[in-house]
Chain A
Amino acid sequence: MDYLLNEQQKMVRDLARQIAQEKIKPVVAHYDETEEFAWPIMKILSDSDIFGIYIPEQYGGLGGGILEMCLATEELSRACGAIALGFAGTALGTFPILLYGSDEQKKKYLPDIAKGKRLAAFCITEAEAGSDASSIKTNAKKDGDYYILNGTKQWITNAGEAEVYTVIAMTDKTKGPRGASAFIVEKGTKGMEFGAKEKKLGIRASATREVIFTDCKIPKANLISKEGMGFIVAMKTFDNSRPGVAAQAVGIAQGAFDAAIDYATKRIQFDQPISSFQAIQHMLADMAMQIEAARALVYSTARMVDAGIKDIVKESAMSKCYAGDVAMKVTTDAVQIFGGYGYMREYPVEKFMRDAKITQIYEGTNQIQRNVIAAHLIKETKK
């Protein structure tokens, strides 16, 4: 299918694909087994200018948008959804600065992120605050020219590896949802520690850790925007990053599909390749349709964001929810097509299924996405 990409978008997609197929694919199983962070791949992405594609040129980036970010994430995820998070998780952690940061903050942090010299991470989730983000307990108390942070963030992607953290913390409990603020915290700040790497079902090569703040003192210049803007920064960040998660899901689904159709045309049973059986053919057809539909939703949403359309909350939620569900369905079917071999870790397809699951859960569970979509649909009828 022709997605009518422009020259720059095709360049991004083709380069990300080349890196994924030539450099990432050969080492996917290794990183999944050892759960090491793939720093050599991050270096390749950095040297290739991939990290800067969605960052404005004046801050050292290439001036592309969300669609370019999605294209890169999708191609990288086609090889490995976990390694892709080194890039996509950094984008998530960068959006608060990109969308709401002051010029000084942008000048200070964006160039190194654009070059891939420093990775980023976004910290909102806590043990008692997942879908119910407003229940966060991490707080930031103003103390002269500083803020003192206390609390523990949970399940943070890139935690421990990233150097730039954007953190949502309560500055005024009495104000409810208007009582949170967004901060930038650099790795190495006294009072900031990381928990042990979590052992996960999937995306094992992605580093997931707790981030623990104990009387962590940060300069007041690290406040993003104004006090009270915390949840607005978070929500707008998610609106921009959700197409990225959706792109990751599409990439994972595509990678699984590629493996499945290749296997189906080679596996002989009853004297013929299993791809000659209608049961398999119908599965492949359904998988391909679902992937294209998910991809279309992601690209359309990304184009809307890049066009500057203000209200993309519903579309963003739709793209993430649908793509995540497609990824789970397609990867499960891919394992099924491989049959017994699909269950063996020696074959690449079970990893896709393990990796797909998280796309239905993080960055807003698909249940929350459905809430958001329905609320918008109903609001629209009242116009």
Chain B
Amino acid sequence: MNIVVCIKQVPNTTDVKIDPVTNTLIREGVESVINPFDAYAIEEGVRLRERFGGKVTVITMGPPQAESALREAISLGCDEAVLISDRKFAGSDTWATSYTLACAIRKVGSPDVILCGKQASDGDTAQVGPGISTHLEIPQVTYVKKIEEISDNKAKVERMTEEGYDIVETPLPCLFTVVKEINTPRMPSLRGMMKSKSAVITKWLADDIDAEPKNLGLEGSPTRVVKIFTPPPRKGGEILKGDGALEVAAKLADLLKDVVI
């Protein structure tokens, strides 16, 4: 089975602070880690390979330092790693990012399963996974909490919902974004760590992945960030008082009648 896992290197958010002047993340001196949800995707990819055989290729789009995230992924069991890094990708929003990753995945070769973490802890959009599947024109299932079975180019998975979960059957190839409930990521192994030290990371530029230049970077990003601000703290609500529950309930009903839901 050919498995591709897409990961992102992010700042370790427990450390991060916001610059009060620019309202952006202060990234200097902050440790970079594999995006927490992607760790679950890596673990699921490795488990699928252990179950069905095949290969796990981990890819990331990022600056050169993102190589360390790929090496960590190898120590956790991934077989091969690809870094897509080019100045031309600077300023990419989730649309351009997912386009770029889709081009890279096409070059890696026909995967059966693509795994992504639900969302990145710095952007929090949860859009890149679905974006990749759209660009590749393959189905997607998001918030996957269990891959129950895979057979005959079909997969049966549990998709988490607010009330519980759905059981979804999908043809392969398919892209899954995973939630924390799906597994417990393993510790690295010594053999894995030794392998990651000596591993050769494939590195691709924009030219290597057959991408349309106008779809890359800032030019390829329809999203415009107008402003980032910390929302004002929520004020306390209104406390309804009355003589007993019935009177308060009547007051509440009156208020609700006026509210357009």
Chain A residues with CB under 8 Å of chain B are 7-8, 11-12, 15, 18-19, 22-23, 44, 47-50, 52-53, 62
> Inter-chain contact count A-B, CB under 8 Å?
33
Confirm or deny: B26 has a beta carbon within 8 angstroms of a beta carbon on chain A: no
- Residues of A with C-beta under 8 A to B194: 8, 11
Size category, B interface: under 10
Confirm or deny: B91 has a beta carbon within 8 angstroms of a beta carbon on chain A: no
- On whether the beta carbons of A18 and B191 are closer than 8 Å, the reply is no
- On whether the beta carbons of B187 and A48 are closer than 8 Å, the reply is yes
Q: Closest CB of chain A to B183's CB: distance in Å?
A: 14
Question: In the complex where A7-B197, A8-B194, A11-B194 touch, is A49 in contact with B187 (Cβ < 8 A)?
Answer: no
- Residues of B with C-beta under 8 A to A62: 190-191
Which of A11, A18, A22, A62 gathers the greatest number of chain B CB atoms within 10 Å?
Answer: A11
A48–B75 CA distance with the chains assembled, in angstroms: 10
Q: Closest CB of chain A to B16's CB: distance in Å?
A: 21
A44–B186 CA distance with the chains assembled, in angstroms: 8
- On whether the beta carbons of A11 and B190 are closer than 8 Å, the reply is yes
Residue in chain A with minimal CB distance to B193: A11
- Residues of A with C-beta under 8 A to B139: none
A52–B197 CA distance with the chains assembled, in angstroms: 19
- On whether the beta carbons of B186 and A50 are closer than 8 Å, the reply is no
- On whether the beta carbons of B188 and A15 are closer than 8 Å, the reply is yes
- Residues of A with C-beta under 8 A to B187: 15, 18-19, 22-23, 44, 47-48
Residue in chain B with minimal CB distance to A23: B187
A50–B186 CA distance with the chains assembled, in angstroms: 14
Q: 17 other contacts beyond A49-B190, A62-B191, with CB at 8 A cut-off?
A: A7-B197, A11-B190, A12-B190, A15-B187, A15-B193, A18-B187, A18-B188, A22-B187, A23-B187, A44-B186, A47-B189, A48-B188, A48-B189, A48-B190, A49-B189, A49-B191, A53-B190
A15–B188 CA distance with the chains assembled, in angstroms: 7
Kindly supply a per-residue 1/0 record for chain B positions 157-197, scoring 1 wherever the CB is within 8 Å of any chain A CB and 0 otherwise.
00000000000000000000000000000111111011001
- On whether the beta carbons of B190 and A15 are closer than 8 Å, the reply is yes
A232–B28 CA distance with the chains assembled, in angstroms: 59
A52–B194 CA distance with the chains assembled, in angstroms: 14
Which of B188, B190, B191, B197 gathers the greatest number of chain A CB atoms within 10 Å?
Answer: B190
Residue in chain A with minimal CB distance to B186: A47
Q: Closest CB of chain B to A279's CB: distance in Å?
A: 35
A22–B184 CA distance with the chains assembled, in angstroms: 13
Q: Closest CB of chain B to A240's CB: distance in Å?
A: 21
- Residues of A with C-beta under 8 A to B190: 11-12, 15, 48-50, 52-53, 62
| 10 nearest A-B pairs in the assembled complex, by CB-CB distance | A49-B190, A49-B189, A48-B189, A11-B193, A48-B187, A49-B191, A19-B187, A44-B187, A62-B190, A47-B186
A15–B189 CA distance with the chains assembled, in angstroms: 8
